[in-house]
Structure 1
Amino acid sequence: MSEEKQQTFAKAETEQQQKQEGKTPNVVTAALVFFIAAVLVASLGIILFKYSAALLSILPILILIAILLFIAAKFEPLVKLKEYQRAVVFRFGKFNRVSGPGWFFIIPFIESYNIVDLRVQTVDIPPQEVITKGNIEVKVDAVIYMRVGSAEEDVVKSVVKVEDYKKAAQLYVGSTLRDIAGDLTLAELIANIDKINEKLKQKLQLVSQDWGVKVDAVEIKDIQIPKEVLDAMHAEKAAEQRKLARMEEAKAHMAEIQAVKEAAKGLDEKALLYYYIRALEKMSTGKATTIIFPLEVTKLASILSSAVGKATSQPKIEELILKEKDSIANLLGKKFAESLAEVAKEEKKTKKKKTKKKKSSRKR
């Protein structure tokens, strides 16, 4: 325990010494500062005592210089304007001149000035709640691009004729926008945004001429439509699209029917009836019990007419029968289709033989 106490006491003494060493520089610094201050005060006293008469003679000048320096620091009589800035200067409250760009001088306590920015100013119109002709409430957001004219007269008007031309333009466009939207339906409002923008610009330009302000553009940025109205519009548009799709489908179907009719004109009715009867004869020689009514000739004509309509050139009736064998089987039965195909093949062979005979007779 004695060793631990000795270590503790030694540590405490070390810390105390460090603190005293750390305080020593501070004491020296304070003493040095006090000495310098005392020397300066003593020197100033000697100067005042020795040159008091000379100082009293220039004291008014020193006081005047001090006052001028105070005024210069407080009121900034020398003002610098940038290229896009102008200053409307008032003397005793009355308009005196337009200064700038560059440096210009203001007489303190006598003259005051207002700085005017000639750059294009963007004035945002808060979303306006408007009710359209169809009693639909929407929010319309717009923006104005305007600037003060560069002519001296316009610069003066922007300060003298209106307190805040941006605020005035904002309120005017908001009220005008509500009036215009109230005379239009929602569809008309959306469809005629460009015309509304131009109308707002013209109306604002007429008013802002007295403010010395030029209006570059007024634009509607956004139209916020209630979700219920938007859903109804989408449903109406979808129904219209479905209606148009059905109309186009009907037109295509009519065109197809017309094409079949036109193609059917190319079929020889007598030849078709001949093949039909021959097929019935073949079926009657077999064991088939299927009965084909005369009305089926119309169906057969329809199948072959469709095939003619799809063909790039006018095919022969035998080729059509062989090509559309499966379609004929589905509609009139497999047995009838096979019999009709056999008749077509036989006729095809017969026609080939006749063609060969004609060619051989011509050679002779």
Structure 2
Amino acid sequence: MVPMVLILIVVIIVVIILARMSIRIVQQYEQGVLFRLGRVVGVRMPGLQFIIPVIDRLRLVSLRIVTMPIQSQGIITQDNVSVDISAVAYYRVVDAVKSVVAIENVEAAINQIAQTTLRKVVGRHTLDQTLSETERINEDIREILDVLTTAWGIEVTLVELKDIQLPQTMKRAMARQAEAEREKRAKIIAAEGEAISAVKLGDASDTMMAHPLALQLRNLQTLVEIGVDKNTTVVFPAPLMSTIGELSAFLARENTAAAES
């Protein structure tokens, strides 16, 4: 009786172990690559899956987008400027079988190829292009990576340059260049203002030449503006001084004529 009970218990334990080994749960964001005696026999979709213990092996592959930082790379641009650039890449598995069979370690492979591609692409651009055309550089890197990783069942969805470190000497040179550019624009604006002012003053002088009373009115307005402040300054407009001079000359001529008569 006792041996039969022990045998039954052993059988139950073996059945439980085999059942546990044959049941697999594939998550919604995963796919399972099924190997049977070392050969790929299919892909298992999300849900409850059964395999043959010992004979089958189910390799789970995540289909979610993976964020992979690309460590800072020392790069020499086309105009021989040394910069340190880091980036970030986003990729996802689109073919679970290829990602398992075609390559041993997907993340390590993409990381290495992304570093070399980053150096190659940025090295074809000047420093100004690297700073101003980051979107085009990002797209070039993504296209190159996407072509290379297609055979691995991987799709690179996005690449972004994250940080660009410049040498201190280059930062100072760029600051001086920006300052000189601002000074140039300021001088150009001031010169344009002087040119416009000269044209307006010429128009005003032509108007006063055509209408002499306009000059008198302007002189009177200037006197009113000066008289607002409490001061002891006495201003005589130029036309008034010439009028006084002409009157003095007239009186002198009259006195001379009277003395001669």
TM-score, length-scaled by structure 1: 0.59
What's the counterpart of residue 56 of structure 1?
3
Q: RCO higher in 1 or 2 (8 Å CA, sep ≥ 6)?
A: 2
Counterpart of 1:225 in structure 2 is 166
Aligned-residue offset at 1:105? 1.8
Q: How does 1:115-194 map to 2 (within 5 A)?
A: 115-149=60-94, 154-194=95-135
Question: Which residue of 82, 89, 104 corresponds with 2:34?
Answer: 89
- 1:326-337 equivalences under 5 Å are 336-337=236-237
Q: What is the CA distance between 1:57 and its match in structure 2?
A: 4.2
Contact preservation (8 Å) 2:121, 2:140: no
Q: Give the structure with higher Rg (CA).
A: 1
Q: What is the RMSD computed on CA atoms of the aligned residues?
A: 2.8
- Paired with 2:9 and 2:186, the residues of 1 have a C-alpha distance of 96
Q: State the alpha-carbon separation in 1 of the partners of residues 85 and 61 from structure 2.
A: 30
Displacement, 1:58? 5.3
Matches within 5 A, 1:224-243: 224-243=165-184
What's the counterpart of residue 213 of structure 1? 154
State the AA in 1 paired with 2:32.
A
The answer as to 2:22 corresponding to 1:77 is yes
Offset at 1:238?
Answer: 0.8
Q: Distance in 1 between matches of 2:13 and 2:218?
A: 119
Contact kept, 8 Å, 1:148 with 1:155, in 2: the verdict is: yes
Given the superposition, is the C-alpha separation of residues 188 and 335 from structure 1 closer, same or farther in structure 2, using an over 3 Å criterion?
closer
Looking at secondary structure, tell me which structure has more strand per residue.
2
Query: Which residue number in structure 2 is paired with residue 316 of structure 1?
Result: 214
Name the structure 1 match of 2:53.
108
SS of the residue corresponding to residue 133 of structure 1 reads coil
Match of 2:188 in 1: 247
1:157 shift after superposition: 0.7
Asked if 1 retains the 8 angstrom alpha-carbon contact of 2:223 and 2:235, the reply is no
Question: How many Å separate the matches in 2 of 1:258 and 1:186?
Answer: 44
Cα deviation, 1:101-122, whole Å, max 9, x if unaligned, reads: 1111232221212111111111
Q: Distance in 1 between matches of 2:236 and 2:221?
A: 15
The SS at the match of 1:187 is helix
Provide the rounded CA distance (Å) in 1 between the counterparts of 2:221 and 2:242.
Answer: 13
CA shift digits 1:144-172 (9 cap, x unpaired): 111112xxxx1111111112222222211
Mapped to 2, the partners of 1:63 and 1:112 lie a distance apart of 25
Percent of aligned pairs with the same amino acid: 30
Structure 2 CA distance for aligned equivalents of residues 268 and 85 of structure 1: 91
**Do the aligned partners of residues 334 and 158 (structure 1) sit closer, same or farther apart at CA in structure 2, a change above 3 Å counting?**
same
Q: Distance in 1 between matches of 2:158 and 2:113?
A: 14
Q: Deviations over 1:207-259 (max 9, x none)?
A: 12111122221111221222321122112101110111011111111211121
Rounded Cα–Cα distance in structure 2 between residues aligned with 1:335 and 1:127: 74
Distance of 1:237 and 1:322 partners within structure 2:
48
Distance 1:338 1:193, change over 3 A: closer
- Tell me which of 60, 65, 76 is aligned to 2:12: 65
1:271-317 deviation digits (Å, cap 9, x = unpaired) = 86xxxxxxxxxxxxxxxxxxxxxxxxxxxxxxxxxxxxxxxxxx723
Matched residue type, 1:190: L
* Distance in 1, Cα, partners of 2:150 & 2:219: 87
Structure 1 unaligned blocks of 5 or more: 1-53, 273-314, 345-364
Counterpart among 340, 345, 364 of residue 240 in structure 2: 340
Q: Distance in 2 between matches of 1:97 and 1:230?
A: 57
Q: Which runs of 5+ in 2 are unaligned?
A: 227-232, 245-261
Distance 1:339 1:142, change over 3 A: closer
Check 1:261–1:109 CA distance in 2 against 1; reply closer, same or farther (3 A cut). same
Size of the aligned set, in residue pairs, is 238
Q: Does 2:139 align with 1:198?
A: yes
| TM-score relative to the length of structure 2 | 0.81
SS in 1 for 2:160: strand
Number of the residue aligned with 2:252: none
Q: Is the 8 A contact 1:325 1:338 kept in 2?
A: no
Distance 1:137 1:339, change over 3 A: closer
**Pairwise mapping of residues 267-282 of structure 1 onto structure 2 (< 5 A)?**
267-268=208-209
Shift of 1:195: 0.5
Structure with higher helix content: 1
Match of 2:43, SS?
strand
CA distance in 2, matches of 1:323, 1:58: 126
